[in-house]
A and B are shown apart, each in its own frame.
Chain A
Amino acid sequence: MSKSDRRIDIEEISGVTVARLLEKKILDEANIDSLGQELFALVDKDGRKKIVLDFTLVEYLSSAALGKLITMHKKTSTAGGKLALCSIQKDILDVFKITQLNKVLTLCNNLDDAIKKIG
């Protein structure tokens, strides 16, 4: 996969994998399926246990994207790992609250908080 095709950018910080979501709009199914495959590979293929998803760049997301995040949460938990989401813009945070997924997923204000939470 070429760099321009990637939906996430990976960095290791203090033993935590930080995956920065690169798409502004996580709306259409093609993007969402590709994003899901890249996220799931962090657990299924790479065996990573502590993962932060950085939402700084994300401006829109749909319910199909929420579905991938729930599946990612389950995969991480099943593997004995931890997942946190951070730096979520206000409009998107509202989507998490309306669907009450803020009670299921670990949402943090910023990257430092997320690393501390699961590190």
Chain B
Amino acid sequence: MNEHVEFEASIPSKLYEDFGLQDKIVQLMERFSYSVRDVFAVRLAVEEGVANAIRHGNRFDESKLVRITCRIDDSKLRMEISDQGAGFELGAVPDPTQANFIERPTGRGLLLLREYMDRFEYADGGRCLILERERNSLLPVMQG
């Protein structure tokens, strides 16, 4: 079996705390020779995924935790980001690029996650975000 690393962390629902999560994941990505493009995508994804779990999932309730699991090897990084909130319906979230929404200051995190990750889906009624990025992925695909 190829070498792999797994870890799990639980963090309180505080947006202003730096728990070192991104740096820990980036260090692992560098160890497995992921590209600069991969690192950019995953930093963005961790920030957006955790912020969504704290803000929209746990609604800043500091008694609730966000649980992150991560598994990485030389072909793929997989993360699950789970909150303890009420869940949500992904299809009910408006497209932030539509004219009615484009000038709103919020609502772009899910779009970025979808574009930068090879796998993006919600399980457990919207409480568990599953993200995967392959090593040296070419995402995001840019037009023109």
Contact = CB atoms under 8 A, between A and B. Distances in A.
A99 B96 contact: yes
Most buried by B among A25, A62, A68, A74: A62
B140 A30 contact: no
Interface in B53-72: none
B97 interface: yes
A13 interface: no
Contacts of A60: 40, 43-44
A63 B102 CA distance: 13
Interface in B96-110: 96-97, 102-109
Main secondary structure of the interface of B (DSSP, over half): loop
A97 interface: yes
A101 B115 contact: no
A95 B102 contact: no
B47 A28 contact: yes
Contact of B105 (A29, A70, A98, A100): A70
B105 A68 contact: yes
Interface string A51-79: 00000000110111011101101100000
Interface string A17-44: 0000000010111100000000000000
Contacts of A27: 22, 43-44, 47
Contacts of A28: 15-16, 18, 47
Contacts of B112: 63, 95, 98-99
B37 A97 contact: no
Nearest to A101: B102
B134 interface: no
22 contacts: A25-B43, A27-B47, A28-B18, A29-B51, A30-B16, A60-B40, A62-B44, A62-B48, A62-B51, A63-B108, A63-B109, A68-B105, A70-B104, A74-B103, A91-B37, A94-B140, A98-B115, A98-B140, A98-B142, A99-B108, A99-B111, A99-B112
